[in-house]
Amino acid sequence: MGDVLHALPAAAALKNARPDCSIGWVIEPRWCPLLRATSGPAAKAVVDQVFLAETRLWKKRPFSTETLSQIRGLRHQLREEHFQWCVDMQGSIRSAVIGKMTAADRFYGPAEPRETPARWLYRETIPVTATHVVEQGCELLGQSVGLPLSAAEVDFPVDREAERICEASLSGLGTEGRGYALICPTAGWGAKQWPSERFGAVARELSGRGIPVVVNATSPIDPVAERVLESSGGCAVKIAGNIPQLMELTRRAVVVIAGDTGPLHLAAAMRRPVVALFGPTDPARNGPYGTRAQVLRHGGERQDHRRLAEPEAGLLEITVDEVVSATWELLKATRG
């Protein structure tokens, strides 16, 4: 999710600069709603064509007949389009292999990709010098097509069915006219996940100040969200939903509180104010971009991308009082 959101501003900038160009995007089906709505009016199109790649399932069953058939089908679809340029914005072996499948006239990738072997598949490499990953994407795509690109705002689609479900879920919570704080407590791995009990304490403090609190759950039985609710002492409500519903929930929030995770980057991309809790990863590289933000981090010299189960020591140094204070200051600044 984060990779898609970090690459979108560059694609939007290219579309703004060259409205006549046709942009295709290979994406896992679960993230497709970030590019297109299934119901409701179409947003300003960044992407003209979407190609689905079930890479998670392929990894589980790499040699099954179904997997091989789907890979051959994707390869055929991509080659039928006769793309002139292909740019690997992710820098992984998986994305490089899919890029190679396009047989594009020119295939670019970063000179120092996330996974080094990916570089062997590119026809040409681009050295990127920007610090933030969004600006890196603009640099990579811009140099590939020969245009200077600066990150552009993304007009995210509105899904009418998700909008209806979100409004129904929020009705009766007392958020009318005041909005709510949205807490997204989960993270991709344990080292980036602030303790649930502290998120619950933040919910209690904000509720006491008259700010309704909604907790985003990854599923109806999300154990992390459940622990936040329990710790909040009834001062928060949980709402679970799919990606279109999360987008609508985020769109209505007055502030989003989260760690370095997909919902944080979604909130930033949707220009919602965010309080970001960072531990082992560097916010200078992948912190909230293009929105009002309060970034909290201790032990900035420590960089660790290992998928450890326990919260990183610096992340644990962030206190409940710091998060509440940062949220309050951001709300005051936002409301003028």
Give the per-residue pLDDT at 309. 67
Same fold, 2-145 and 160-335: yes
Domain range list for the chain: 2-145, 160-335
CATH pick for 2-145 out of 3.90.550.10, 3.40.50.2000, 3.40.50.920, 3.40.50.720 = 3.40.50.2000
At 228, the pLDDT band (50, 70, 90 cuts) reads: very high
Q: CA quadruple 314, 316, 319, 323: dihedral positive or negative?
A: positive
Tens digits of per-residue pLDDT, 43-76?
A: 567 899 999 999 999 999 988 999 999 999 999 9
Mean pLDDT of the region 261-272: 96
Give the per-residue pLDDT at 300. 63
Q: ∠ CA 275-277-282 to the nearest 5 degrees? A: 115
User: Three-state SS across the chain?
Assistant: CHHHHHHHHHHHHHHHHCCCCCCEEEECHHHHHHCCCCCCCCCCCCCCEEEECCHHHHHHCCCCHHHHHHHHHHHHHHHHCCCCEEECCCCCHHHHHHHHHCCCCEEEEECCCCCHHHHHHCCEEECCCCCCHHHHHHHHHHHHHCCCCCCCCCCCCCCHHHHHHHHHHHCCCCCCCCCCEEEECCCCCHHHCCCHHHHHHHHHHHHHCCCCEEEEECCCCCHHHHHHHHHHCCCCEEEECCHHHHHHHHHHCCEEEEECCHHHHHHHHCCCCEEEEECCCCHHHHCCCCCCEEEEECCCCCCCCCCCCCCCHHHHCCCHHHHHHHHHHHHHHHHC
Judging by DSSP bridges, how do beta strands 255-259 and 237-240 pair with one another?
unpaired
Tens digits of per-residue pLDDT, 107-136?
A: 999 999 999 999 999 999 999 999 999 999
At 203, the pLDDT band (50, 70, 90 cuts) reads: very high
Q: What is the C-alpha separation between 261 and 246, in angstroms, rounded?
A: 13
Mean pLDDT of the region 77-91: 97
Burial of 63 (0-12, 13-18, 19+ CB in 10 A): exposed
Tens digits of per-residue pLDDT, 31-48?
A: 999 998 766 555 567 899
CATH architecture of 160-335: 3-Layer(aba) Sandwich (3.40)
Give the per-residue pLDDT at 25. 97
Tens digits of per-residue pLDDT, 181-190?
A: 999 999 888 8
